[in-house]
Chains A and B, each alone.
Chain A
Amino acid sequence: MAEPLVLVEGVTKSFGREVVTKVLHGVDLELHPAEFTALVGPSGSGKSTLLNLLGLLDRPTSGRIVLEGRDTTDLAEAERTTLRGRSLGFVFQFHHLLPAFTALENVMMPMLAARGREEPGMRERAFALLEEIGLADRASYGASKLSGGQQQRVAVARALVLDPPLVLADEPTGNLDTESGAQVFELLRRVSERHRTAFLVVTHDERIAARCDRVLTMVDGRIRSDVRRPAA
């Protein structure tokens, strides 16, 4: 198999100083380019903690995480931030758009943060993504004027705008009604295929998990099972 996009080796994570709570008990994992993976498990099993570690938002207590061949263990915070901006996209459960900006500006935001100011082509790139998710006509709408499903679709476009190899999605449909949830999931699958982007989707929804290429199940801070769906 090709070089993994993400390599997780013996990762543990504990919280607290006096009373230490160990949340991850040695996780080993590989994620591959363009792979659409579901991460399932009961509450408290360590899914979100693992997602934060993979997103370079937190550091493991032990073990190492290699992203695109680069060991992130000893990277300085500024380097982790740069790597996060370039190589990772995020879709959160609660949409998390910036309400002070329009849909188009929200999509542009990772590019603006990375380059420090607006540059030629940025607006067109963001607009093309809004067209792709079917929200070009809402480009100038304030984020708070969009419905829940629309906001989540804008968040997907934002996660993809810098063309990252991996998007981490934490319960992306958890806060949506069934129909909107289904639409957003379809969108995630579609853009994953079109952009050759790997997705790791944390979900409680078994129907969604069943439609992913691979399902990782976490229990008590360990990966209990790793099931790949046979290619169609």
Chain B
Amino acid sequence: MPFEVLVALRFLREGRIQTLLILSGIGVGVGVIVFLSALISGLQASLIERTLGTQAHVVVRAPEDVVRPATAPTAERVVASRLEQPAQRLRSIVGWPQTLGLLRSLPGIRAASPTAEGPAVALRGLANRSIALRGVEPASYRGIIDMPPRMTDGEFRVDAAHAVLGVELAKDLGLRKGDKLRIETPRGRSDVFVVAGLFDVGNKDLNERWVFVSLRSAQTLLDLSGGISSIELKVDELFAADRIAADIAGRTGLEAESWMERNRQLLVGLRSQSASSGMIQLFVVIAVALGIASVLVVSVVQKSREIGILKAMGTRTAQVVRVFLVQGAVLGLAGSAFGILLGSALALFFAALATNPDGSPTFPVALTPGLFLGAAAVATVTGLVAAVAPAERAASLDPADVIRHG
């Protein structure tokens, strides 16, 4: 064992009560960091999952129609133009199979699925409801929104004869699995489908509005004839969606909108939450650092005689500095081990305290190896940094004083 580590450990062992008290202090501090991080990460992950579980991360569409003035002004001619914004019609992405292939080949994209989506009306007898008709390829769409686990009745089967709808719409229209449903579009086209299943995506509005049919049926009903209205994407790195969307727009000339753009408020909320949690953790780290520093400063005063003896015996100043740095690091590391246990126990207890009607915890927590490693690293580095001033103080002690004053 290196000399500095041996001396550091013995000094810590000698001041047993002091060491235990500061270890408890660091442990509680790290425990708070672990607990807070686990809780905030868990809540955010749950919030993101609940919000984005029914959304694509990036939606790629054909660019909107743009109106330009018929006459351009020149040096001799002034033009007073008034542009009428056109009503945006449903347009297909030109050459979408090639675009889809390109998007699937891009790095960072986990899944891509073509969608033909547009407004329609669902009718049964005298009842009718305005709906969002979504034509999808079931296999590729599963990578965007995993529908089968969200089915409350029947199966996610969409083909020429079958459609799938939300539980709220089914209730409004009095439909059950196996019943027939007519769908009409503003283009005057209509078709009849058998209800293959009912879903619940955890959002009342979507449960009332979404009706899934096959891509081909939607293309016919929406008059898109082989076209699609959008390509939906899931990305590997959630918070890279903005960058990926901009990249896609640049490459394809299409419009690409990320979940971050469509959920500004959620993003602001998440960032505020992270910032406030970060502030609390910063203050805890400062408190831990001050605790370690004060204990080590006291230790330098208490151990000044021993430090003087060590220096008189030929211990170099750098070795004395390292003795105290090692003490700081050891306190941080050992305290963080205790803190990780404490924080994890607290987080798990909190998670078990209350549950939602579906059985999921009201306060979900995310305890990950990354969090533990991060907490241990923060505590150890804090211990090291906090030990710098006491170590310098120890290094400046004059061994002659020890001999002079005993």
CB-CB contacts below 8 Å: B385-406 with A = 398-400, 402-404, 406
Find out whether the CB atom of B400 lies under 8 angstroms from the CB atom of A81: no
Nearest first, the 7 A-B pairs at minimum CB distance are: A85-B314, A100-B10, A100-B14, A57-B400, A113-B315, A94-B406, A112-B3
Partner of B313, one of A109, A115, A117, A170: A109
Segment of B92-100, B235-243, B266-274, B304-312 engaged in the interface with chain A: B304-312
CB distance from B182 to the nearest CB of A (A): 86
On chain A, the residues within 8 Å of B220 by CB distance are none
Interchain residue pairs with CB less than 8 A apart (20):
A55-B312, A57-B312, A78-B316, A81-B311, A81-B314, A81-B315, A81-B317, A85-B315, A92-B402, A96-B309, A96-B402, A98-B10, A98-B310, A109-B310, A110-B313, A113-B3, A115-B3, A116-B319, A117-B1, A170-B403
Find out whether the CB atom of A51 lies under 8 angstroms from the CB atom of B403: yes
Assess whether B350 is interfacial by the CB under 8 Å rule.
no
CB distance from B305 to the nearest CB of A (A): 7
Which residue of chain A has the shortest Cβ distance to B10 in the bound complex?
A100
Assess whether A48 is interfacial by the CB under 8 Å rule.
yes
Find out whether the CB atom of A78 lies under 8 angstroms from the CB atom of B317: yes
Interface centre among A48, A52, A98, A115 (most CB of B within 10 A): A98
Query: Knowing A112-B6, A113-B319, A116-B3 touch, does A100 contact B312 (C-beta < 8 A)?
Result: no
CB distance from A118 to the nearest CB of B (A): 7
Cα A156 to Cα B309 in complex, Å, equals: 14
Find out whether the CB atom of A117 lies under 8 angstroms from the CB atom of B314: no
Which residue of chain B has the shortest Cβ distance to A113 in the bound complex?
B315
Interface centre among A55, A81, A101, A162 (most CB of B within 10 A): A81
Query: Knowing A81-B314, A82-B316, A100-B14 touch, does A93 contact B400 (C-beta < 8 A)?
Result: no
Cα A90 to Cα B312 in complex, Å, equals: 8
Interface centre among A78, A94, A109 (most CB of B within 10 A): A109
Find out whether the CB atom of B13 lies under 8 angstroms from the CB atom of A100: yes
Find out whether the CB atom of B310 lies under 8 angstroms from the CB atom of A57: no
19 further contact pairs, Cβ within 8 A, besides A98-B10, A98-B309: A48-B403, A51-B403, A55-B312, A58-B400, A81-B316, A82-B316, A85-B314, A90-B312, A90-B313, A99-B14, A100-B14, A109-B310, A110-B314, A115-B3, A116-B2, A117-B1, A117-B2, A158-B313, A170-B403
Chain B, interface SS category? helix
Partner of B11, one of A81, A84, A100, A110: A100
* A residues with CB within 8 A of B: 48, 51-52, 55, 57-58, 77-78, 81-82, 84-86, 90, 92-94, 96-101, 109-110, 112-118, 158, 162, 170
Which residue of chain A has the shortest Cβ distance to B318 in the bound complex?
A78
Find out whether the CB atom of A84 lies under 8 angstroms from the CB atom of B312: yes
Which residue of chain A has the shortest Cβ distance to B15 in the bound complex?
A100
Of the four ranges (under 10, 10 to 19, 20 to 34, 35 or more), the interface on chain B belongs to 20 to 34
Find out whether the CB atom of B310 lies under 8 angstroms from the CB atom of A113: yes
On chain A, the residues within 8 Å of B14 by CB distance are 99-100
On chain A, the residues within 8 Å of B319 by CB distance are 113, 116
Cα A99 to Cα B319 in complex, Å, equals: 19
Query: Knowing A82-B314, A99-B14, A100-B13 touch, does A57 contact B403 (C-beta < 8 A)?
Result: yes
Which residue of chain A has the shortest Cβ distance to B400 in the bound complex?
A57
Which residue of chain A has the shortest Cβ distance to B310 in the bound complex?
A113
Which residue of chain A has the shortest Cβ distance to B312 in the bound complex?
A90
Find out whether the CB atom of A114 lies under 8 angstroms from the CB atom of B314: yes
Find out whether the CB atom of A52 lies under 8 angstroms from the CB atom of B2: no
On chain B, the residues within 8 Å of A52 by CB distance are 400, 403-404
Cα A100 to Cα B312 in complex, Å, equals: 17
On chain A, the residues within 8 Å of B6 by CB distance are 112
On chain A, the residues within 8 Å of B406 by CB distance are 92-94
Which residue of chain B has the shortest Cβ distance to A89 in the bound complex?
B313
On chain B, the residues within 8 Å of A55 by CB distance are 312, 403
Cα A78 to Cα B317 in complex, Å, equals: 8
Cα A85 to Cα B316 in complex, Å, equals: 9
CB distance from B375 to the nearest CB of A (A): 30
On chain A, the residues within 8 Å of B399 by CB distance are 57
Which residue of chain B has the shortest Cβ distance to A112 in the bound complex?
B3
Find out whether the CB atom of A101 lies under 8 angstroms from the CB atom of B10: yes
Which residue of chain B has the shortest Cβ distance to A168 in the bound complex?
B403
Which residue of chain B has the shortest Cβ distance to A82 in the bound complex?
B314
Cα A86 to Cα B313 in complex, Å, equals: 9
Which residue of chain B has the shortest Cβ distance to A94 in the bound complex?
B406
CB distance from B119 to the nearest CB of A (A): 78
On chain B, the residues within 8 Å of A85 by CB distance are 313-315
Which residue of chain A has the shortest Cβ distance to B305 in the bound complex?
A96
CB distance from B185 to the nearest CB of A (A): 82
Interface centre among B1, B10, B313 (most CB of A within 10 A): B313
Which residue of chain A has the shortest Cβ distance to B6 in the bound complex?
A112
